[in-house]
Amino acid sequence: MFDPMYDQAAGLRSVVTQVGIKLVPVVLSRDADTAFDLVWMLGAGLATLGHTVVALDATSREQSGRPGLAQQLQTKAPAVQDADPNPWHIMPSQSGLSTLMHTAQTLGAKAAQARLVALFPPDTVVLVLAPKEWLSVLFEESAARPLVPFTLEPSGVVDAYSAIKVLFQAGGLHPVLVPVKSEVPDVLEHQGLTVLTDTARAHLGWSPECWPLPPSRPGDSRDALSQWMLRIEESALALDEGCEPQPSWTTPHQREALVPQLWSC
């Protein structure tokens, strides 16, 4: 059941349209299938709401025959045309995101975000699928709410805690847990989620919000999923395409980040 205050906010959104590019970070962990499933669902669902959606895939490296984010950053050409009939795209982005991380480490996260949003037309939702360490650098100290998809199995709970710890401590971010049903009994799922949130509260001094996928019950599943999608859209980092990067002579303090090699290229 959604908070009534949120429902009121969703109603106001139908009257006042927000203009700008929206960035939604999605954590890529060892369980890549769960993260990709969430990205596919978000892409299709947000496109149904009328948005152009682009997913930046950090596991896929740009190549001459398969261009992506790196080439767009070099040419500064729009990544998506306004007249493009395809409502959503997945773009190879490993090298391009690495370039943006360098920008974030030298000029600050806002400068990296400004380079990114300049590539997209207004009202585009950009899903940034990348490891937690990358997201903590690209979105450091911002209002972004990284989504942490995970299955309620022991390994999934461990990975989820690792993600929220890095994002919270290294990035100054407030990620959101997105638990996905697994094969374990419901009582064990509940225990796993309780342990996860209690551990975060005890060791981080903060407990993340949890936005589980709505149950797929006949009759109300579409409305519930639409409300869930609106909540994701509302939580996105909204930036004006004209936002200014920090000047090159300003080098803000950056937390040290351990950036892993991706396991898939």
- Report the CATH number at residue 233: 3.40.50.300
Cβ–Cβ < 8 Å for 189, 152 = yes
For residue 212, give the DSSP letter: P
99-145 confidence digits (pLDDT tens): 999 999 999 999 999 999 999 988 899 999 999 999 999 999 999 99
- Mean predicted lDDT score pLDDT of the chain: 83
Is residue 249 situated within a structural domain?
no
Is residue 250 situated within a structural domain?
no
Average pLDDT of span 178-206: 89
Is residue 8 situated within a structural domain?
no
The yes-or-no verdict on residue 249 having pLDDT over 60 is no
Angle at the Cα of 110 (from 107 to 112), degrees rounded to 5? 70
Tokens 């290294």 label which residue? 170
pLDDT of amino acid 255 = 41
**How many angstroms separate the CA atoms of 96 and 62, rounded?**
8
Tell me how crowded residue 90 is: count the other CB atoms within 10 A of its CB: 18
Phi-psi region of 172 (alpha: psi -120 to 50; beta: other; left: phi over 0): left
Cβ–Cβ < 8 Å for 97, 130 = yes
pLDDT of amino acid 91 = 95
Is residue 201 situated within a structural domain?
yes
64-98 confidence digits (pLDDT tens): 888 999 999 998 766 665 555 667 999 999 999 99
The yes-or-no verdict on residue 217 having pLDDT over 70 is no
How many domains, in total, are found in the chain?
1
Tokens 């396991």 label which residue? 263
- pTM equals 0.83
Is residue 256 situated within a structural domain?
no
**How many angstroms separate the CA atoms of 217 and 224, rounded?**
9
Is residue 233 situated within a structural domain?
yes
Segments forming the whole domain that contains residue 74: 21-239
Question: pLDDT-based confidence at 226, cuts 50/70/90?
Answer: confident
Lowest-confidence range among 53-57, 85-89, 248-252?
248-252
pLDDT of amino acid 117 = 93
Is residue 142 situated within a structural domain?
yes
Exposed (0-12), middle (13-18) or buried (19+): which is 10, by Cβ within 10 Å? middle
Cβ–Cβ < 8 Å for 23, 236 = yes
